Amino acid sequence: NNASTPSSPCVLVTGGAGFIGSHTVLELITQGFKVVVVDNLCNSCEEPLRRIEKLSGLTEQIPFHSVDLANIDALRGVFKAHTISSVIHFAALKAVGESVQKPLEYYRNNITGTLNLLEVMLQFGVKNIVFSSSATVYKADYDGNPLRETNELGCTSPYGRTKLYMESIIRDVVDANSGWNAIMLRYFNPTGAHESGTMGEDPQQIPNNLMPYMSQVAVGNLKELRVFGTDYNTRDGTGVRDYIHVMDLAEAHVVALKRLPLHKGYEVFNVGSGTGQTVLEMIEAMSEACGKKIPYVLEGRRPGDIDTILCDPTKSTKELGFQVSRDLKQMCTDLWRWQKNNPNGYK
Ligand code: NAD
Ligand code: WQD
């Protein structure tokens, strides 16, 4: 029932085998969309697609093309093989620290991939795109005020700059071509997993981010969590972030996709909860979810981090009509269910 024949319009999801992409593919199929996935599997595998098929009761495999966006001819082949009406563009490299070490790899992969995608969209007359952006595009607000879409932009890492440049490139394409619609979703800190416990985040290397690291400590794959910084200007001295359940984030993409036909042109929305948790509060919540203490050590600050990063969700609530519905407890319970049932991820 997901047969994507050339005549049935479908949503192309780039990076659809990855963490956020796979949860969004599931939500799209659940809401009745036909989907085509493109992913070069550089940070993922095909297994989440099999799990999506099972969860959604699909009788056919999800159309999947193992294509690198750098390969524009292969990408053209995908647009030839399906009638694509819109694109959700997740495919990117995303490790902040690695991007500092390998800036050219990040610029080449993220920017070239996006240029190729937009060029093929132009060629095939596909004018609708939802783009994975990030709170990292905002200039740091050291006072910890919630960030609005109108805040000043500015990044400190090559990864962040690729996001900023990709937003600008998409904006220029929208300005230059009539009928284009683009929504930039600036995510804050995604975590959690699908409530079935069969899908979740599966980092291919030792995780950099707090929650995947913590869940691997909880399941016994890693020894202890390192808490980076205890002297921040926050309620307990550790960093405050705005965590969002990956299924809420998946839903936000579908809401954005449904908005594209309203022809608003280029738009930007934050996707976060508007509330923040400290690292110690996250440890406490995760310990409760898994029913055991999570070993941790207190360390100095991680370079580049700041006290507080919070989302102001006013615009996305009012104009996009999106609000998170899953709380911290659910994020941790679902994350733990996934990690406990799949200690080695999809492997
Ligand atoms: P992920 O690594 O799990 O997913 C990205 C997917 O894109 C992977 O499956 C990877 O194999 C694929 N990919 C990368 N380069 C590709 C290329 N050139 N061609 C084809 N496929 C390619 O990461 P994620 O956490 O799901 O992130 C998805 C998107 O959201 C990324 O654009 C990321 O920058 C953005 N984002 C993530 C976070 C976060 O904390 N996870 C926060 C804000 C924004
Ligand atoms: C959260 C808090 C750390 C790891 C990053 C990117 C951002 C976006 C989301 C893509 C901070 C602390 C962390 C650990 C710790 N990604 N921490 N021990 O840095 O807010 O955002 O992911 O766009 O661009 O920068 O997320 O999960 O790394 O850190 O104490 O082992 O946890 O210092 O306070 P961050 P994070």
Catalytic residues: 159
- Distance between CA atoms of 70 and 156, rounded to whole angstroms? 25
Which protein residue's CA is at the shortest distance from atom 6 of ligand 1?
15
Per DSSP, the three-state class of 127 is coil
- β-pairing verdict for 240-241 and 308-309: parallel
d(CA 87, CA 15): 11
Determine if ligand 1 sits within 6 Å of the CB of residue 109. yes
Tell me the residue type at 321.
Answer: G
Q: Which residues does ligand 2 sit against, CB inside 6 Å?
A: 94, 96, 134, 136, 189, 208-210, 213, 225-229, 239, 241, 279, 302, 305, 309
Q: Are strands 64-65 and 225-228 parallel, antiparallel or unpaired?
A: unpaired
State the pLDDT at residue 104.
Answer: 98
Burial class (CB in 10 A: 0-12, 13-18, 19+), 192: buried
Using CA atoms, how far residue 136 sits from 49, 111, 323, 331, in Å, is 29, 16, 21, 22
Distances (CA, A) of 176 to 36, 118, 133, 166, 312: 27, 12, 21, 15, 30
Distance 140 CA to ligand 2 centre (A): 14
pLDDT tens, residue order, the chain (347 aa) = 444 455 589 999 999 999 999 999 999 999 999 999 999 999 999 999 999 999 999 999 999 999 999 999 999 999 999 999 999 999 999 999 999 999 999 999 999 999 999 999 999 999 999 999 999 999 999 999 999 999 999 999 999 999 999 999 999 999 999 999 999 999 999 999 999 999 999 999 999 999 999 999 999 999 999 999 999 999 999 999 999 999 999 999 999 999 999 999 999 999 999 999 999 999 999 999 999 999 999 999 999 999 999 999 999 999 999 999 999 999 999 999 999 999 999 99
pLDDT of residue 7: 58
* H-run or E-run covering 336: helix 328-341
- Is 134's C-beta closer than 6 angstroms to any atom of ligand 1? yes
Residue 66 pairs with which residues in a beta bridge? none
The CB density around residue 137, as the number of other CB atoms within 10 Å, is 22
CA of 259 to the centre of ligand 1 (A): 23
Q: Is 193 in the pocket of ligand 1 (CB under 6 A)?
A: no
Q: Whose CA is nearest to atom 27 of ligand 1?
A: 20
Distance CA 188, CA 244 (A): 7
Of all helices (H) and strands (E), which one includes residue 174?
Answer: helix 158-176
Kindly give the distance from the C-alpha atom of residue 264 to the centroid of ligand 2, in angstroms, as a whole number: 33
| Residue 45 one-letter amino acid | C
User: How far lies 94's CA from each of 105, 251, 300, in Å?
Assistant: 11, 21, 24
Measured in angstroms, how far is the CA atom of residue 173 from the centroid of ligand 2? 32
Give residue 176's pLDDT.
98
**Structure confidence at residue 4 (pLDDT):** 46
pLDDT confidence of residue 1: 44
Q: Which atom of ligand 2 lies nearest, measured to the CA of 189?
A: 9
